Chain A
Amino acid sequence: DQQVKQNSPSLSVQEGRISILNCDYTNSMFDYFLWYKKYPAEGPTFLISISSIKDKNEDGRFTVFLNKSAKHLSLHIVPSQPGDSAVYFCAVIPDSNYQLIWGAGTKLIIKP
């Protein structure tokens, strides 16, 4: 069973509008959540994270929201720019502190 789920394989958004990427998880004991962005032929780039003691973390155009009761987190990008077109992975660090548990990824396409 997938412990971290990204149910949308792809998402298309108009440039300048808000992009919302979603992620669900199964284990209420998960403590630390991250978003990575990946361009083709490059490694994943760490974007933003949030710990379970918070419900929101903001960094420039990127905001991550955590809803612990729903076991759901989301990444908001506003305004969306063409350079944001990439695959976005949600990931969790469980208490082992080593193994990232990854979602399947969502391909974001920003239309001009």
Chain B
Amino acid sequence: DTEVTQTPKHLVMGMTNKKSLKCEQHMGHRAMYWYKQKAKKPPELMFVYSYEKLSINESVPSRFSPECPNSSLLNLHLHALQPEDSALYLCASSQPDRAAQPQHFGDGTRLSIL
């Protein structure tokens, strides 16, 4: 059982829709991450939140908007996405104030843009 929970598991949306991906962790971690993963590729980092503040944005287009309402929750708001944005979106968490801690991943949201 994963301790990082992502909803929904699958999402199909049109290019004009607005939707949100949600992630919740109960591991007491204070760093949370969004990744994008295409088939047969490793995950690509999108955003990092540390202590609820955005610390890294890997030059992600503005049609992706992250939000961290509290230390357990992470959202990714989607608007006007393109077909090439279809991918598996993964959330992860870790403990930022202890050196070299592994990130723990949720099972992802499979996103399809029509």
Binding site for B on A (CB under 8 A): 31-32, 34, 36, 41-46, 49, 51, 89, 91, 93, 97-100, 102-105
Contacts and interface: CB of A to CB of B under 8 A. Distances in A.
A107 B43 CA distance: 15
Interface string B95-114: 01001101111111010000
Q: How large is the interface on B (under 10, 10 to 19, 20 to 34, 35 or more residues)?
A: 20 to 34
A105 B40 contact: yes
Given A98-B31, A102-B43, A44 B110 contact: no
Nearest to A44: B105
B102 A97 contact: no
B11 to A, nearest CB: 14
B4 A97 contact: no
Contacts of A44: 43, 90, 105
A36 B43 CA distance: 11
Contact of A43 (B40, B41, B42, B106): B106
Nearest to A4: B42
B102 A49 contact: yes
B45 interface: yes
Contacts of B102: 34, 46, 49
A89 B37 CA distance: 13
Contacts of B45: 99-100
B4 A105 contact: no
A99 B56 contact: yes
Contacts of A100: 43, 45, 103
